[in-house]
Amino acid sequence: MDLYGYETGFDMFSIMFFIVFALIVGTIIINAIKGISEWSNNNKQPILDINCKVVSKRISVSHTNSHTDSSGVHHGSSSHTSYYVTFEFESKDRTEFRVNGKEYGMIAEGDYGKLKFQGTRFLEFNRI
């Protein structure tokens, strides 16, 4: 107990709660700023239409943690799939773009075509 009869542990809990809350809010704000900055930067870039070859494809699946409570009841889970395609230009430079599932399914490794993109934003790929 402190001078006024309050538990000091409660004060420590309040401080820790505030710190964790501030970290979560700070992370959300930083990620929002990064997203807006990338979007703005992409909008300033020219739209390029370049011959290239598809050299690889990959999928990244992220899962949310699910848990089972003490009574054995399972509390949901979810996953998110991201699709990526790597293109090689005539200069032998390579770049990877995130694409949607439909585009991913229509593109095959070894395809030649025209890639249209703006900064880090994939726009389309058309086979030649």
Please provide the distance, in angstroms rounded to a whole number, between the alpha carbons at the two ends of the chain: 78
Question: Is a pLDDT exceeding 90 seen at residue 41?
Answer: yes
pLDDT score recorded for residue 64: 80
Contact 53, 87 (CB under 8 A): yes
Return the top range by mean pLDDT from 53-67, 68-82, 89-103.
89-103
Do 58 and 105 belong together in one domain?
yes
Do 32 and 55 belong together in one domain?
no
User: How many domains does the chain fold into?
Assistant: 2
> Encoding tokens for residue 30?
């930083």
Do 60 and 28 belong together in one domain?
no
Do 18 and 52 belong together in one domain?
no
Instruction: Determine the residue type at 125.
Output: F
* DSSP strand pairing (74-75 vs 121-127): unpaired
Which runs of consecutive H residues, i.e. helices, occur in the chain?
8-44, 101-106
CATH number of the domain enclosing 93 = 2.40.50.660
Q: Is residue 54 part of a domain?
A: yes
Do 120 and 102 belong together in one domain?
yes
Do 25 and 58 belong together in one domain?
no
Range of the domain at 25: 1-44
pLDDT score recorded for residue 7: 58
pLDDT score recorded for residue 5: 56
User: Whole-prediction pTM value?
Assistant: 0.72
Query: Other CB atoms closer than 10 Å to residue 55's CB: what's the count?
Result: 14
pLDDT confidence tier of residue 26, bands split at 50, 70 and 90: very high
Q: Is residue 112 part of a domain?
A: yes
